[in-house]
Every structure is written in structure tokens, then in C-alpha cells.
Structure 1
Amino acid sequence: MPQAVSATPSRILSPDFARGLTLLGIAGANLATAWAPVNDAPLASLMGGVVDGSVADKIAVMIGAMFLHVRGLPMFATLLGFGIGLISMSLYRRQYPLAAARKLIAKRYGFLALFGLVHCIFMFYGDIMFGYGLIGMLLALCIAVRDKPLLISAAVLMGLNLLLFLALGVAFLFFSDAMSGNALSAGGMLGTGAFSEQLPWIDDSYWGQLFMGAILAVATPFSLPQLIMMIGPLMLIGFVAARRGVLTDVETYRRWLQISAGVALGVMVCIGVPLGLAGIGVLPKEWELGLFMLNQGFGIFTGPGIVAMIALAAEPLQRRLNEGGTLPAPLVAVQALGKRSMSGYVLQSLLCMIFVTNYSLGIGQGKGAADTLAIAAVIWLVSVVLAYALELLGKKGPLEYLHRRLSYGHEGLPQVYQPVPAQR
């Protein structure tokens, strides 16, 4: 495997901080668009809704447009690729042959896809782990490819994805009257709107979750080309960043991290602000859908940028940790959630199923963006507290434990590769 780094220092803080913090954004985006959308809101129906002209809802919509929607997915995709890069380097140091390393990585991300499939069907039809796992398996084939071809491939895929959403965004902006309607509401964007109109029980029963989950689970492999265009380049960038030690040597890569952070801020301001303003009616509300599509296209550029921001901000803390220092308890708690991000992500679905859905307690249904954002913050805080408790007990997250056990076996990875004896 080319371009291996020789060693990894003490645990890198920024990926865990990024995952832990971004789970708040994922909760906020999912609450507003999937768990408790207000599809018939007069304003911001794509981003949680403004109910009765609420100023709080309008503020929440602006926050969501800038910092939540299409922010968590690209960040996690970048770090997923980073994780594959770290694993490939670890296998290289353990003297794994290329074929064995590919097989092990494909196995690990195959189990992630399986977890996502179960999550999609039985808990949340908006699951992304299934797609992450499928693309992770494909990336296993690329671990011996050099950095330059990988980065060129990432640029081409990003360009194709951007062209697709630019075309959609421009079409919706210029032909908003002809292309608007209930089918393009928040529910419709997630693939549920058409079903909900004909089959009301889709939103009102757990059987509806199973129905939609099964449909989207079957559809995900067929949408793989689009997922590859959207998620694939971010995973390639993260993979190369891990091989080059970008997050372990912030000083050397400071300029590139600052550029990435600047690009992300540019998208948040230049795309997120107009999107939010259209959502709350300051700009023509007919522009919301077109700008939402542009955010889908440009939003993927925020993934590496958010990671870069957190890496730069965490540099003094990383230095303190490397020198044997400790971190404040709140930061340890967020880091603990980042270490257990899969369990935290699925916990969000469990709590929403119990407290938010129409077929359960229905908290937040029809309430608008401010309420859904507040509920998301409470759910996130619960996950932070539980993750911190597990950290104090020295326990992994339950899904992380199961995933590692299935991927590496009871004994874990050997320090040096041990080939399996041939069967006689």
C-alpha cells in the first residue's frame, strides 16, 4: 500500500469532536424534515416550517439553512473515508497483504451496511449508514491507488454532482410555478409525500415506517450511482487526508485546512443565508426549493471544511492531550459521543420513535422549526450524557462493540498478520 504513514499519535481529538457535535446538526435536520415536518406551513416547509409567523421559527430556519441541512452528511462521509484510511494504514503496519486488507475492510463496511439496512427498515427510513457501508466496501478496492488519481476522481465526481444539482436548482428557480406543489414538500423530498397523500397510515403507524423503510432499503442500491457522486468524493478526500496525516499534523497542513474551512463558510453564507431568507419570506418564497437544491449541490463542500474548522479549533487541546494533560468534562462528553457516533445516531431514531412520531407521543408534531430544533437539542444532550457515562465506565457504545466484534472477531486484529492455515 503506497504512501503509508509510519505511526499515529495519541488519539486524534478532532474527528471525535466533529462527530459528536455534528450529531446535533443531524438531529436538527432530521427532526425538521422527516420526524416532525410541517409540510403545509406557509413558510419554510422544507426546513421545519414557520407556524403563525413565529420569530423563533424564523431564527431556527436561518440556523438550519446555514448550519444543519447538508452539513452533517458530508462531514460524516469525509470522516468515514478518513477512518478507512486509518484502518488501511494500520493493516499496512501489521503487514497485511493487499488482498487480505481489502477483504477485511470490505467485511467491516459490509457489516456497517447491514446495520444501516436494519436501521432503515425498522427505525428510520432516512438512514444513511446503508449507503455509507456500500460505498465503504467499494473504497476497499482503492486502498492501493495513489493519492493523485484518487483526488482527480474526487474532483470529477464532485463536479458531476454539482452540475446535477445546479441544473435542478436553476430549473426550480426559473420554473418554480410549474414545478412547485405538495409533491415537492419536505415529505416529497424524502420520498414519502406521494405515498402519504394516498396512504395516510404511512405517517400514522409503525407499519408505515416498515413499509417506507423496506421501499427505501430496496431503492438504495439502485440509487448508488448518485450516492457515489455525492458521498464518494468526500470519502476519497478523507481517505487521502488520513494517509497524509492531515489531522495529525495540523501545522504542516494549516493552509489547506484554512482554505477548506473558508470554502465551508462561503457555502454557509452564500447559499445558506439566501436559502434561509427565502424560507422565511424575506426573499421570494418560490425560490426556496431552487435554493434548497443548490444547497444539496454546494453543501457537500462543507464536509471537509467542517472537519478542518474543528481540527484548527481543537489544535491547542490536542497539544495539551499529547503532553499528558486532560480535557474539561464537557469536551470529554462530546468526544465520548463522537467515539460512539453510531450508537448515538441510532439512539436518536429510538427516542424519536418513542416521543416524536404520530403513532407515539407526537411531541413537536405541527409545531414549527424552533420546537423541532429544541427537541433535537434535548435528544442530543441525552445522547451526550449517556455516552459520557459509558466513557467513565470504560465501555464502548453497544453498536460499536458489536460492529468491532463482528468485523475483527473476539480476539481483535493481531499485531502482525497471521494467515489462515490452508484446509486439508
Structure 2
Amino acid sequence: MTSQPAVASVPRIAALDVLRGFALGGILMVNITVMSNPSGFAAGPAHTFLVAFFFDKFYVLFSFLFGYSLTMQFRSAERDGADPRARTVRRCLALMAVGLLHIVFFFSGDVLFGYGLLGLILLSMSRLRPKRAVVIAAATYGLFVLAMTAISLLSPSEASGSIADPERALARMRTGWLDAASYRWDTFSDRIGAFLLFGFLNVLPLFLVGFAAGKTRLLERPERYLPLLPKIQWIGFGIAAPLALLAAVVDSPYLAGPSALLAPLLATAYAATILRLMHHYSWVTNTFAPAGKIAATNYIAQSVITSIIFTGYGLALVGRLPDWQVLTLAITIYAAQLAISRLWVRHHRYGPVEWVLRRATYGRPQNRPARHRLHDEPHAGS
């Protein structure tokens, strides 16, 4: 009996899975603020804490990892003798489709649709050399900082992200499935222009940095990045963190531009800390890597769970829980995901969403059982 040849792939990189699994917690802490209340948290300690140390920090890690993963998909296609561009187009279109479903049914702040769209733009830039990619990323991100500064000066309410009619938004989220879905779609469609501009000026540069790192195989060579990590931590925690806290305490939309400069520095310091811990303690890999392996599934699952809790087709608790109780709920959900992910990957190679994405990418079923060690698995980066 002959078996179907498996898709050739590059080895998984533990650092990618660990960082992705770690970032999932920060993503949930941010997203749950608008899932629990369309207006977000009210001014107070919880809001200040999140603005200083979570907001605009963790999508930085996710975006970097997406760019890095694209280079690994290219390598996998080359080993298969397949067209890497065609594979990437199929994967990006699949991400966009999943993202649109996610927006309508669960969360208007979805990133998968934007990742798929921007992934197509990144694909058109895939021949860039690493240094050139970093230069373009820096220039584009600089434009983003200038844009945020201009918006904060001309339209402070737009920079703060406040919504026009919070009471109406609460009512629509509480009434039922169709009205909540309609509200999410209206929110997304009303902001599509800003969404695309934000993605091009802010997320695409982070893709490019990750893409450049992937081309140089930075995370595959610990001897290259480990000596840099203490300096990165010093800059992030010693300079960016105090300034970010100060900006959060002041809480002025006029600081949107400067704050955009601090976010990548602090996010990089978080990543540096996790990477250093990973190389000293095996529990770090064991805890975060399984969740990172099925990051797309966990990301969607966070929205499913919070929708059941907060919207009208569930418990309809939107706008009814204290802020610190919402954060406790987020921590509980994330802890459960870490534990369930560890159990899942013992018996399955991919999560449900990852399996769908791979089916769309490769055009044929992928074997589900996982009878191998963590570091030997094929890469299925989101």
C-alpha cells in the first residue's frame, strides 16, 4: 500500500511558536476591552495600565511573525518544487475569507482580513533584499507617525478612537445575533478607508521587518540574536516603558504620534524577555508554543467565547461588567487556551482554522495526527 506523499516543509521554529502563543494573551487583553463595551474601558487605572503596556504592542509581534512566516512558506514551496507566489496568493485569499466571516459573526476588529490583503502587497515586494526592506519599513512607519500626529492635531476625537453613539452601539450588541452582526459589519465598512491606510502605513512595515528577519533566518540562529536581547530590554523597559506610562497617564490624543514610536520598542522588549526565558527554562516553550502552533484557531476562539459572553445571542453582558472583572475574564480565557492547546497538539497536527488555511493553500487534505516532537513539526504559521 502506498501513501500519499506529504507536503515538504521546513522545520518548525520554537521561537516563532512561543512568541505567537505569548502574543495571543496580549491580543485578548486589548480586544476584550471593545468586546465587553464598544466604547472601551472608562478612564481609570485599568485603562491607563492597558494603554501603557498592551495597546498597540502585541499586534506588532503578530505582524512581525506574519512577515517571518511568509519566508518559511516560500522555502517550503521551493522544497516542494511548487510556485511559492501561487501558494501565497491562495493563503492570503483564504485569510481574507476567514477574516470577513470573523468580522460579521464575531469581531469587527479582526486582523486576518487585513493580513491577507497586506500579504498580497508584501508578496509583490518579496524580491527585496533584507536591508532594503528594513529601510522601506522605517520610511513607511515614519509616515505613519507623521499621519497620527497630524490626525491628533486636526481631529483629536478621531485619534482617540471614540465612537459617535455609544448607547446605540450597546443596544445593538444586546438585542440579538442579526443586529449584532449588522453592527459589526457597519463598524467595519464605515472604517474601511482608515483601516486600509492604517494597515499600509503601520502593519505593512512590520511585515517587512519580519520578512527581512526571515530572509536572514534570524530566529533560527540563537547565537546571533541572544547577545542583542539585553540591550533591547534596556531600551524597551528603561526608556520606552516609562514614557509609555507617562503618555497613558496624560491620556491625550495629541500624543498619538509619539506613542506610535514607543510601541515597537516596548513590544520588542517583551519579545526579547520571552526569548531569553525560553532559552533558560523549558516550561516557557511547553507553555506558550502549543498555543502558538494553533494561533489562528485560538484567535478566532477568543472572539467566539467573548461573543457568547457579551452579545445578545449569548449572555448579553456587554457594558455590564466592571473593567477589572473583564480583565480577570480575559486572563481566565487565555489560561484555559494555553492548557487546552497543550492537550490538542498532542493528538492533532493543526487546529481547525489552520487546517482550513492549509487546505486552501495546498489544495489537498493534510494529515491530522501529530506523532512527533514539537521542534520537528512542519511550519504552519498564520
Residue 271 (structure 1) shift? 3.5
Which residue does 1:240 correspond to in 2?
212
Aligned to 2:272: 308
The equivalent of 1:229 in structure 2 is 201
Distance 1:378 1:28 in 2: 11
Alignment match of 1:89 (pick from 75, 83, 94): 75
Q: What is the alpha-carbon distance in structure 2 between the residues aligned to residue 137 and residue 196 of structure 1?
A: 35
Q: Deviations over 1:9-62 (max 9, x none)?
A: 853222212221221111111122x112384xxxxxx5x235xxxxxx62x444
- The residue that corresponds to 1:176 in the other structure is none
Figure out how many residues of one structure are paired with residues of the other and give that number.
Answer: 358
Q: Relative to 1, partners in 2 of residues 1:220 and 1:266: Cα closer, same or farther, differing over 3 Å?
A: farther
Q: Counterpart in 2 of 1:298? A: 262
Three-state SS of the structure 2 residue aligned to 1:233 is helix
Q: Provide the residue aligned with 1:67 in structure 2.
A: 53
- Find the aligned partners of 2:327 and 2:148 in 1 and give their Cα distance: 26
**Identity among equivalent pairs (%):** 22
Q: Per-residue displacement from partner, 1:278-322 (whole Å, max 9, x unpaired)?
A: 3xxxxxxxx4433456434532444444333322332345xxxxx
Aligned residues of 2:134 and 2:208 also touching (Cα < 8 A): yes
Which residue of the partner structure matches residue 306 of structure 2?
A: 352
SS at match of 1:410: coil
Q: How does 1:268-279 map to 2 (within 5 A)?
A: 268-278=240-250
| 1:370 to 1:152, Cα distance in 2 relative to 1, 3 A | same
Distance 1:297 1:171 in 2: 20
Distance 1:80-1:199 versus aligned 2 partners, 3 A rule: closer
Contact 2:109-2:188 within 8 A present in 1 as well: no
Partners of 1:268 and 1:372 lie apart in 2 by 27
Compute the displacement of 1:272 (Å): 2.3
2:181 to 207, 210, 223: 210
- Show structure 1 runs of 5+ residues with no match: 1-7, 40-45, 51-56, 173-178, 279-286, 318-326, 414-424
* Structure 2 runs not aligned, ≥5 long: 1-8, 368-382
Shift of residue 259, structure 1, vs aligned partner: 4.6
1:311-336: CA deviations, max 9, x gaps? 2332345xxxxxxxxx44x7424211
Q: Specify which of 278, 291, 296 is matched with residue 342 of structure 1.
A: 296
Structure 1 length-normalised TM: 0.75
Change (3 A) 1:269 1:13: same
5 Å-filtered alignment, 1:363-382, equals 363=317, 365-382=319-336
Distance verdict in 2 for CA 1:409–1:95, change over 3 Å = closer
Question: What is aligned with 2:37?
Answer: 37
The CA distance in 1 between the partners of 2:365 and 2:32, in whole Å, is 39
For the 8 Å contact 2:169–2:183, the answer to whether it is kept is no
CA shift for structure 1 position 84: 0.5
Computed over aligned residues only, the root mean square deviation of the Cα atoms, in angstroms, reads 3.1
The 3 A distance-change label for structure 1 pair 127 and 199 is: closer
Q: Which residue pairs with 1:418 in the alignment?
A: none
| Larger of the two Rg values belongs to structure | 1
Matches within 5 A, 1:44-59: 48-49=41-42, 58=45
Alignment of 1:126-205 (within 5 A): 126-169=109-152, 179=156, 188-189=161-162, 193-197=163-167, 201-205=171-175
CA contact (8 A) 1:27 1:380 kept: yes
